[in-house]
Amino acid sequence: MVVWQLLSLTLTLMVQGGSRDPEVQRRLGARLLATLTALGPCFIKLGQALSTRPDLVRRDWLDQLTRLQDDLPPFDHAIALTTIEADLGAPAATLFGSFPDRPVAAASLGQVYRALLHDGRPVAVKVQRPHLHERLELDLAVIRVLARWAGPFLPLNLGDDLSAIVEEFGTTLFREIDYGLEADNAERFADLFADDPSVVVPAVERAYSSRRVLTTTWLEGCKLQNRSDLERLGLDPTALVRIGVISGLRQLLEFGYFHADPHPGNLFALAGGPDDDGCLGYVDFGMMDMLSNDDRLTLTDAVVHLINRDFAALAHDFVRLGFLHPDTDLSPILPALEEVLGGQLGESVGSFNFRTITDRFSELMFDYPFRVPARFALIIRAVVSQEGLALRLDPDFSIIRVAYPYVARRLLSADTDEMRRKLLDILFDRSGRLQLQRLENLLDVVARDAPPVALLPVAGAGVRLLLGRRGHDLRQRLLLTLVRDGRLHLDDLQALAGLLRRQLDPGRLAGQLLQGLTA
């Protein structure tokens, strides 16, 4: 059955995939969606993985694949009880103070129960689907054979590299079904956010967990799906979206370790938080990934280059990240980058939309030698998924409007060695001259869409850096700027003083703050 459906789909794609008729391509995308859904967990996951690869799959097919839902009917309750007893060594009725007779949710890899421990604490018990490992192995074997045979002939933008993509997908999938690894992931994620009261991570109950059963504390909250539900509970949807975006940025740009599946079913709004607007709870840590330090810093560079509209430097960031081959001639790509990204940025970062950018890049990637490195496929999925959630709860929300000030504040505060080095690279050119326009861009970004007093903590951190022990390199660079060619140059210093007077003028800050309070 599986082989026949896949063969039928593959032959159809090979015969009709090159058609220029939009209606034909729409039907093929719908056929692809329906077939993958019918074939079960492995193929649903494969379709979701392909939906993050605009460099491989046509845009009209991507639109269909993004609709793949990771939910299936629950499997037999008796089988779940058998799995619990086999893995944990005792029946669920003995292990738990109370165990329900039906799950509260079911997905492609397992289903979740709300049970009670003997001390009365509610817990989430996730039980894996039966024979899942064996079924995935069989499905992947079929996919590998088809990839080798049909890969070069399918209308995908990859030549004969489909087998490597399938192997990467298989590795990720088998990590996801190891609940012991997921428990480790959850505890590591919790440690990273231990200092952030706005993010909640359920604790793993190790005594009730195994490779196929995972038990964690139950999060009593509301799924991040409907704005009206959140408001009914007295929670602020916009504040919750902001928490989600900031926590996502911290994962990518600070920790290099991120939750790769932040869809509405895995994010909960809970009461409390620093300002009582609510806090964000993460669940399901099966799909996690890591970024190297080099990638983290290059992503920070890329955001700064977007702030400065430096598309030549941005093209080199794409090379460093692996989206472009080092030998690629960048000259024909620069106008396309400026058209796609510059046009979206416009006069305000508020108009920037990742979903639109992804769609535009899916077109560019067929015309230019872009490739999405495997390590970035999950990042793209996570960012686009998070933006879709944000826009559902707040249609006026812009991720970039939050990301820009976040990066700018980190750079200007220079609270880590790597941020101090990055700040020096931004503020001084190769000849040692101070690049005041870049500093002004960063200050403008911090002040934009925020109260003017938002600049004061940044300015304080800058003064502490300049006068403190960690500011030695910055002071040295400033002195070298002042003394060049054996002469004293005060023009840069005067321009810097003028810039700071304009940005931090007390009268201007007080007036704008008063205007904000009375608006």
CA angle 238–239–244, rounded 5-degree value: 95
SS3 4: helix
217 in Cβ contact with 132 (< 8 Å): no
Q: Which of 212, 206, 220 is nearest to 122 (CA)?
A: 220
> Measured between alpha carbons, how far is 445 from 93 in angstroms, rounded to an integer?
57
Closest CA to 260 of 189, 190, 354, 328: 189
Q: What are phi and psi of 56, to 5 degrees?
A: -110, -40
Residue pair 215/205 in contact (Cβ under 8 Å)? The answer is: yes
Among candidates 175, 157, 189, which has minimal Cα distance to 267?
189
Residue whose token pair is 């920070």: 300
H or E element that contains 259: strand 257-259
Choice among 55, 261, 295, 301 that is catalytic: 261
The residue type at 478: L
Angle, helices 399-413 vs 293-307, to 10°: value is 110
Query: Where are the extended beta strands (E) located within 102-160?
Result: 105-106, 110-116, 122-128
What sign has the CA pseudo-torsion 273, 277, 283, 285? negative
Question: Residue 140 is inside which H or E element, if any?
Answer: helix 132-150
Q: Which residues contact 14 (CB under 8 A, 6 or more apart)?
A: 150, 153, 154, 155
- Helix residue ranges, H only, 151-176: 162-176
Q: How far is CA 256 from the centre of its chain?
A: 11
Burial 342-358 (b: 16+ CB within 10 A, else e): eebbeeebeebbbeebb
Distances (CA, A) of 102 to 106, 232, 321: 10, 28, 46
Three-class secondary structure of residue 217 per DSSP: strand
Q: Are 449 and 350 in contact (CB under 8 A)?
A: yes
Task: Using DSSP bridges, classify how beta strands 199-200 and 279-282 pair: parallel, antiparallel or unpaired.
Answer: parallel
Type and span of the H or E element at 223: strand 222-223
261 is annotated as an active-site residue: yes
Among candidate residues 156, 142, 158, 177, the one with its CA nearest the CA of residue 45:
177
Catalytic residue set: 261
